[in-house]
Amino acid sequence: MPAGASNLGPAGPVFQSTVLPCGLTVLTERLPWLRSVTLGLAFRIGGRDDPAELAGCAHLVEHMVFKGTAELDARTIAVEAENRGAELNAFTDKEMTVFHGRFPGELQVEVTDLLARIVAAPAFDPAELAKEQGVVIEEIRSAEDDPGSKAFNLLTEACWPDTPMGWSIAGTPETVARADSASLRRLYASRYGCATGVAVATGAVDHEALCRVLEDRLGSGRAARLPARPAEPLAGPAIRVKDRPELSQVYACLALPAFSYPDPRRHALSVLNTALGGGVSSRLFQRLREQEGLVYSVSSFTDLFEDSGLLGVFFVAERARLERCLAVLGEELDRVRRDRFDAEEFERARTMARSSVMIGLESPVGRMLRMARTHHLLGRVVPVEETLDAYARLEPGDVNRLAGELLTDGFRIGAVGPVAAEDFRSLAG
């Protein structure tokens, strides 16, 4: 994306883009009404890129980057960040790892230098690794104990069985315990570098100063390459259940195949998701909760990746009400397929979907992540105006056609509670 101002005028955001000599793309969005900077170093490496014997290693690497370099231990990193009013953090998802911080604009150079030093040369100290392996294993066990988290993990296993997309991002206690400093160091050196990442900053950012610091700290770094990422299409309908008889409720995640993030129908899918279960006026909320009082919590969701995607439903219900919940869910999907959404319902859902985009723009972290994700998945940063225009061009027929294509029988299902796979057979096809 070429440097230059957006069409919002001199008081609006100003975008700039530079590819450094080291190969790192630097994207900035100056927001003159902010005094802080949000900076992210986003690598196109995620849980789906983990080797089988080291499932969870991308997530473990993310933890270890903050555990010190040869010159800085973990406490010194924390103290130096907070001395500058900076909040540093990181996350790993299926397809991306992001190290990020938010800090006062006048301290941009100092905090950028600190974050770049950390990312450039983590030590992977064996003693620190042993401690962090224990922390991550506790994180895994907490997710296993949480019925909602476990249901989502079971859903991904049902969608992508025995493949990296289906694994928990955190791995298993066994694969995490198996990792050693040497293997993590080799993986980091080969995968995390200027050519596999993008630096994105929003707020009171000085683009040229940011480029100078990043080139200085990262320019002599590793010649990293993206790992091979084979396409992983969804498997056929399947059910994964964790029987927990001590629970009184069933936590259920059900999903149907959608399409990948680059598909231009993603805006119509967002409206469909909103109308189906994305708000309190949605079909599923009104029917399951307001009309029949079957559940406290019900919602729909989408999850789009480089080469596949999901449209799903999540609800929590008393065991005695599960059969009725599933019957009503099936009825509502049939009603959408048969009667479709009318113009009023479509317009309300479209307004909510567009509103979600605009409200998200009020978060500097959200703006940074939006730029990083579209850069990695689309090869460019999508202007906000382009996204809003895409919603404006939608018509009811676009959403209704998509509903007819996607809302079919044959759910992939993950569930936790006093339940068996047979309880969901009617929706699995």
Burial class, 148, CB count within 10 angstroms (exposed 0-12 / middle 13-18 / buried 19+): middle
253 located within any domain: yes
Q: Work out the pLDDT band at 221, boundaries 50, 70, 90.
A: confident
360 located within any domain: yes
Q: Within this chain, do residues 254 and 287 fall inside the same structural domain, yes or no?
A: yes
**Residue 345 pLDDT greater than 50, yes or no:** yes
Per-residue tokens: 331: 């009825």
- pLDDT of res. 12: 76
Round to whole Å and give the CA distance between 203 and 102: 10
For a pLDDT cut of 70, what percent of the chain falls above it? 97
Among 21-30, 74-83, 221-230, 297-306, the range scoring the smallest mean pLDDT is 221-230
**Residue 85 pLDDT greater than 60, yes or no:** yes
Spatial contact of 26 and 215, defined as CB atoms under 8 Å apart: no
231 located within any domain: no
Q: Work out the pLDDT band at 409, boundaries 50, 70, 90.
A: confident
Round to whole Å and give the CA distance between 63 and 203: 26
Mean pLDDT, range 368-374, rounded to an integer: 97
Q: Work out the pLDDT band at 7, boundaries 50, 70, 90.
A: very low
Give the mean pLDDT of the chain.
95
Residue where a domain terminates, one of 170, 189, 218: 218
Q: Is the dihedral of CA 74, 79, 84, 86 positive or negative?
A: positive
120 located within any domain: yes
Mean pLDDT, range 215-221, rounded to an integer: 89
Q: Which residues pair with 257 in a beta bridge?
A: 310
Q: Within this chain, do residues 339 and 375 fall inside the same structural domain, yes or no?
A: yes
Q: Work out the pLDDT band at 220, boundaries 50, 70, 90.
A: confident
Q: State the number of CA atoms in the 13 A half-sphere of 66 facing the CB.
A: 20
Q: Within this chain, do residues 144 and 268 fall inside the same structural domain, yes or no?
A: no
227 located within any domain: no
DSSP 171-229: --HHHHHH--HHHHHHHHHHHSSGGGEEEEEEES--HHHHHHHHHHHHTT-----PPP-
CATH number of the domain that residue 324 is part of: 3.30.830.10
The string of pLDDT tens digits covering residues 284-294 is 999 999 999 99
The rounded Cα 390 to chain-centroid distance in angstroms is 22
**Residue 362 pLDDT greater than 80, yes or no:** yes
- Classify 260 in phi/psi space as left (phi over 0), alpha (psi -120 to 50) or beta: beta
Q: Of all helices (H) and strands (E), which one includes residue 87? A: strand 87-92
Round to whole Å and give the CA distance between 268 and 121: 43
Q: Within this chain, do residues 244 and 202 fall inside the same structural domain, yes or no?
A: no
Instruction: Give which of 416, 410, 376, 381 is closest to 48, Cα–Cα.
Output: 376
229 located within any domain: no
387 located within any domain: yes
Order the strands of the 309-318 sheet from edge to edge. Answer: 238-243, 412-417, 249-257, 309-318, 295-304
**Residue 1 pLDDT greater than 80, yes or no:** no
The string of pLDDT tens digits covering residues 39-72 is 999 999 999 999 999 999 999 999 999 999 999 9
Mean pLDDT, range 386-414, rounded to an integer: 96
Residue where a domain terminates, one of 187, 218, 249: 218
**Residue 8 pLDDT greater than 50, yes or no:** no
Active site residues: 62
The string of pLDDT tens digits covering residues 138-180 is 999 999 999 999 999 999 999 999 999 999 999 999 999 999 9
Q: Within this chain, do residues 254 and 196 fall inside the same structural domain, yes or no?
A: no
Spatial contact of 352 and 279, defined as CB atoms under 8 Å apart: yes
**Residue 395 pLDDT greater than 70, yes or no:** yes
Residue where a domain terminates, one of 218, 251, 276: 218
Domain extent at residue 408 = 238-428
DSSP 282: S
Mean pLDDT, range 89-101, rounded to an integer: 98
Q: Within this chain, do residues 90 and 207 fall inside the same structural domain, yes or no?
A: yes
Q: Within this chain, do residues 12 and 157 fall inside the same structural domain, yes or no?
A: yes
Q: Within this chain, do residues 127 and 244 fall inside the same structural domain, yes or no?
A: no
Q: Within this chain, do residues 301 and 336 fall inside the same structural domain, yes or no?
A: yes
**Residue 2 pLDDT greater than 60, yes or no:** no
DSSP 12: S
Q: Work out the pLDDT band at 11, boundaries 50, 70, 90.
A: low
Q: Within this chain, do residues 298 and 158 fall inside the same structural domain, yes or no?
A: no
Q: Within this chain, do residues 94 and 160 fall inside the same structural domain, yes or no?
A: yes
What is the total count of domains within the chain? 2
Round to whole Å and give the CA distance between 124 and 67: 8
Q: Within this chain, do residues 163 and 277 fall inside the same structural domain, yes or no?
A: no
307 located within any domain: yes
